[in-house]
C-alpha cells in the first residue's frame, strides 16, 4: 500500500468523488424543481437535467454503457415522448391551476414515507455487500446485456409497451380534439349558426 493510498480517506476525497457529489447535488435540485414547478414544459426540461445528471453519475462510476442507455432511452425517448404528448394534447404551456388538486401535504407525506421505505430496504439489502473493484468491470456491455436480457427482459418489454400505449393515447386524444373543433367550425358555418351569432 502506497502512502497516497494510505492517506486517502473520508476527509481527503478524490476529484472524481467531489465531481460525483457536485453532480448529485445538481441532479437533486433539478428533480425537486421537476416536481415543484407548475409549468409542464419547464417540468419536462428540468427532468432532462435530472436524467442527464444521472447519466454523468454513471460515467463517473465507469459504467459507460448504462450512461449512454440513460441518455438514449430516458433523455432521448421518454422526455421527447412527454413533450410530444403535451403538444399533441394541446396541454397548457403556462401555469395550470387545474393540475393542482390541493393535496400537497398528503402527497408530501406519501413521498417522504416512500423515500424512507426505499432507503431502508436498500440499506438493509446491501449492508454487508462489498464490490470487488479489482475484478471485471460490473458495468461493462457484456455483463449488463446478459443481466438485462436474462433477468430483466419482462420488465424491459413491459416498459416499451407502456411507452407505446402512451404515444398512441396522445395521438387518439389529439384526433378527437381536431374532430371536435372541425365539427364546431362546420356548425358555425351553417345559416343557423350564423343567425345564432347575430343574436
CA distance 137 to 159: 27
CA distance 145 to 65: 9
The residues spanned by each domain of the chain are 13-97+138-189
Q: What is the pTM of this model?
A: 0.56
Q: Work out the end-to-end distance of the chain between its first and last CA atoms, rounded to an integer number of angstroms.
A: 92
CA distance 155 to 85: 23
Between 32-41, 59-68, 163-172, the lowest mean confidence (pLDDT) is in: 163-172
CA distance 139 to 150: 16
Q: State yes or no: pLDDT of 38 exceeds 70.
A: yes
pLDDT value, residue 53:
93
Mark out the alpha helices in the chain (DSSP H runs): 3-7, 15-36, 40-60, 64-69, 79-88, 104-125, 141-151, 153-189, 191-198
Q: State yes or no: pLDDT of 14 exceeds 70.
A: yes
Residue 72's nearest CA partner among 61, 82, 84, 80 is 80
Angle (nearest 5°) at CA 103 between 97 and 106: 155
Question: How much of the chain exceeds pLDDT 70, in percent?
Answer: 69
Q: Which residues contact 21 (CB under 8 A, 6 or more apart)?
A: 13
- Under the banding of pLDDT at 50, 70 and 90, the label for residue 188 is low
pLDDT value, residue 178:
62
Task: Give me the CATH code for the 13-97+138-189 domain, please.
Answer: 1.20.120.1200
Amino acid at each position: 500500500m502506497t502512502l497516497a493510498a494510505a492517506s486517502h480517506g473520508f476527509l481527503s476525497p478524490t476529484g472524481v468523488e467531489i465531481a460525483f457529489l457536485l453532480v448529485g447535488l445538481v441532479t437533486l435540485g433539478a428533480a425537486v424543481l421537476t416536481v415543484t414547478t407548475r409549468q409542464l414544459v419547464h417540468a419536462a426540461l428540468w427532468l432532462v437535467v435530472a436524467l442527464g445528471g444521472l447519466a454523468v453519475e454513471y460515467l463517473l462510476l465507469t459504467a459507460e454503457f448504462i450512461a449512454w442507455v440513460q441518455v438514449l432511452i430516458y433523455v432521448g425517448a421518454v422526455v421527447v415522448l412527454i413533450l410530444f404528448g403535451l403538444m399533441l394534447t394541446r396541454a397548457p404551456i403556462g401555469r395550470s391551476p387545474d393540475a393542482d388538486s390541493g393535496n400537497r401535504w398528503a402527497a408530501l407525506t406519501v413521498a417522504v414515507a416512500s423515500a424512507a421505505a426505499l432507503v431502508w430496504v436498500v440499506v438493509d439489502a446491501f449492508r454487508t455487500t462489498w464490490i470487488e473493484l479489482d475484478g471485471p468491470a460490473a458495468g461493462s456491455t457484456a455483463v449488463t446485456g446478459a443481466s438485462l436480457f436474462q433477468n430483466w427482459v419482462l420488465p424491459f418489454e413491459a416498459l416499451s409497451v407502456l411507452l407505446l400505449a402512451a404515444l398512441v393515447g396522445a395521438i387518439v386524444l389529439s384526433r378527437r380534439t381536431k374532430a371536435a373543433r372541425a365539427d364546431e367550425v362546420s356548425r358555425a358555418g351553417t345559416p343557423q349558426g350564423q343567425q345564432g351569432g347575430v343574436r
